[in-house]
Amino acid sequence: MHSLGTVTPSREEFLQLAAEHRVIPVSMKVLADSHTPLSIYRALACDDNQQGVPGTYLMESAAPGAAWDRHSFIGVNSMATLSEKDGEAHWIGTPPAGAPQEGTTAEILRQTLEFLGQRAFAEQLPHLASGLVGYIGWDVVRHWEKLPNPPQDDLGLPEMAMNLISDLAVHDNRDGTVTLIANAINKDGQPTGAERAYDDALARLAAMQHALARPVSAEVATAEADWGTQVELDLADKVTNSWDQNEYLATLGKAKEAIVDGEVFQIVVSRRFEVETGADALTVYRMLRLLNPSPYMYLMHFQTPEGEPYQVVGASPEALVTMDAERTVVSHPIAGTRPRGKTPAADQELAEDLLADQKERAEHLMLVDLARNDLAKVCEPGSVEVTRFMAVEHFSHVMHLTSHVQGQVAETSSPYDVLAATFPAGTLSGAPKPRALQLLDEWEPTRRGVYGGVVGYFDLSGRMDVAIAIRTAVLSGGRAYVQSGGGIVADSIDEDERQETVNKAAAPLRAVLAADRLKVS
C-alpha cells in the first residue's frame, strides 16, 4: 500500500536505481478528495490568469469503464517537447543529455523511446508516470509509407508534438487521492548528479503539494437563455469549409469509381471546418466535456518552434491501440453508427437496426480484418485473436459497432513498432490502407494535421494508450479547426456522406461556439 505522504523511492533506493536509469519517477500520494481533475489542472498547470501554458495537459474520461476512467492525468509541466520544424524533428526546451537530436520526427521518436525506455519501477504507480504525452499527426505516416504527393500544409503546425513529462498529478477518480510525480533526471550519471536530481524532485513535489493546498478561485459560467439557439445559428452562419462543395462531391464520385475499379474496398474522405473564435482552450474543453462526454477527453497546450501557442481539445470515442506492461496489445476498430434513441425502447430498436445493416456489418468486418493484419506484423505468431466482435457500444449521443482485436507483442517489437504497424487507423483511411493513403493524398486539398492521427501517451515502462484524433478542435491564431470524414463504399449516397461530415464535426464546433458565448464570473 502506498502510504499517504510517503515519498517513493527513498533516497537510498533512488541512488541504486540512478546507476542504471536516466529518468526516475519520484512520487507521493496525498488525499485531495475536495478537488476535481479540472480544479487540479487550474491549481497546478495554469498561469496567474487561469490559462494553460505550453507543455501542460489534462487527459481524462467522461465514460464509465473507459481506459482513462480510473485516473485523470494532469501535466503540470514538461522538461521538453519533441516537435517538428521544416520536416525534421526539433526539441523545444531541454531534453536529457544524450537524447537523440537529428532526424525525422518518426526516427527521433523511436530513438527517444529506446534511449529512455526502462522497466516499471513500482506497481503502485499509475499506468502513466513518465514518458511522452501529446499528439502524432496524420502526416507522420509519410515516414512509413511512400506518399509522393503531399497536399498543401496551409496551417503550418508541427506534424508531431510529444511532451517529455517532468511533473505530473494523477487523480484517482475512485478514492479521491492524487499521486504527485516529479520525474528526476540524473544528467551526468554521477553519484553527485543523482543526489541533486533527487533533491530537485523533492522540492518539486513539495511545490505541487503546496499549490494543491491553496484555495482555487471558484469560476461559474452562465449564458443567455437562448444560447443553445444562438449556437445553432452560429453553426450554420459562421462556420466555413476549406473545400469547395462541388469539388468535394466530385471527389466522392472519384472514390466510388476507384472502388468499382478495384483499387480500394472503402476510403475515408474528409474535409475541414473552421470558425473564428476568441474562446480560450480551457473553456472550450469544459463545454466539449459537457456537450459530448467521451472515453478519451483531452486538453493540450503546445507552442511551435517559433514560439506561437496552439491547443488541441478533443473528445475521442476510439483508441487506436493500447499496450500494457505484460505486452498485451489491443486494437479497437469502430465502424457503424446510429444516433441514440430518445427512449430505451427506441435505443434498442436502433441498436437492432444497426446490427442488421449488412452495409455497416461488411464495413466493420473489413476493418476488423485490417486490424488483425496490422497486429500480426508485431505480435507473436498465432497470438492475434478477436476477443470482442461487432458489439453495440453506447456513447453519449451515438452508438457504434465495436470490436477488440488482441495479441501478444513479440519480444523483438517495441511500442514504437506497434504504432508504426497500426498507424493510421483503418477507420480513418480505408482499405487496403496503402492505396487509400495514396488516393487521399491526391484528392484532399490540405494536409490533415492532427486529425486522424493519435493523442495519448507512451510510458517509459513500455505501456502505451493512444486515441484516434477525431471529434477534435485545433485552436491556433484566433481560429478553431475541426476535420471529419466518412467511409465511402460503392453504394454510398453523396448527400448522406456530406451530412455525416457535418454531424461528426458538430460537437467540437458547438463547444467552440458555446465557449464564445459563455459569461464567466
Q: Tell me the per-residue pLDDT of 429-471, one tens digit each, with 9 for 90 and over.
A: 998 999 999 999 999 999 999 999 999 999 998 999 999 999 9
Are the CB atoms for 455 and 466 separated by under 8 Å? yes
Output phi, psi for 213, to 5 deg: -75, -20
Nearest to 332 by CA among 432, 435, 444, 456: 456
pLDDT tens track for 252-298: 999 999 999 999 999 999 999 999 999 999 999 999 999 999 989 99
Q: Give the pLDDT of residue 339.
A: 81
C-alpha cell at 494: 453523396
3-state secondary structure of 113: helix
Q: Which pLDDT does position 167 carry in this prediction?
A: 97
Q: What is the pLDDT of residue 120?
A: 60
Beta carbons of 444 and 152 less than 8 angstroms apart:
no
Separation CA 243–CA 255 (nearest Å): 16
Radius of gyration from C-alpha coordinates of the chain: 23
**Alpha-helical segments (H) within 188-269:** 191-213, 227-237, 245-260
Q: How far apart are the first and last CA of the chain?
A: 41
Beta carbons within 8 Å of 390's beta carbon, 6+ residues apart: 336, 355, 361, 364, 365, 368, 401, 402, 403
Which sequence positions are flagged as catalytic? 400, 427, 451, 471, 487
The domain 7-327+411-520 is classified under which CATH number: 3.40.50.1820, 3.20.20.70, 3.60.120.10, 2.60.120.260? Answer: 3.60.120.10
Residue 39 has a pLDDT of 92
* DSSP string across 272-329: EEEEE----HHHHHHHHHHHS--SEEEEEEEE-TTS-EEEEEEEES-EEEEE-TT-EE
**Residues in a beta bridge with 399:** 338, 394
- Among 457, 507, 508, 501, smallest CA distance to 480 is for 508
pLDDT of residue 173: 87
- Inter-residue contact 129 to 27 (CB < 8 Å): yes
Of 447, 462, 383, 426, nearest in space to 113 by CA: 462
pLDDT at 319: 92
Backbone phi, psi, residue 58, to 5°: -135, 125
The low-confidence residues of the chain, meaning pLDDT below 70, are 1-2, 63-68, 119-123, 186-192, 216-227, 519-521
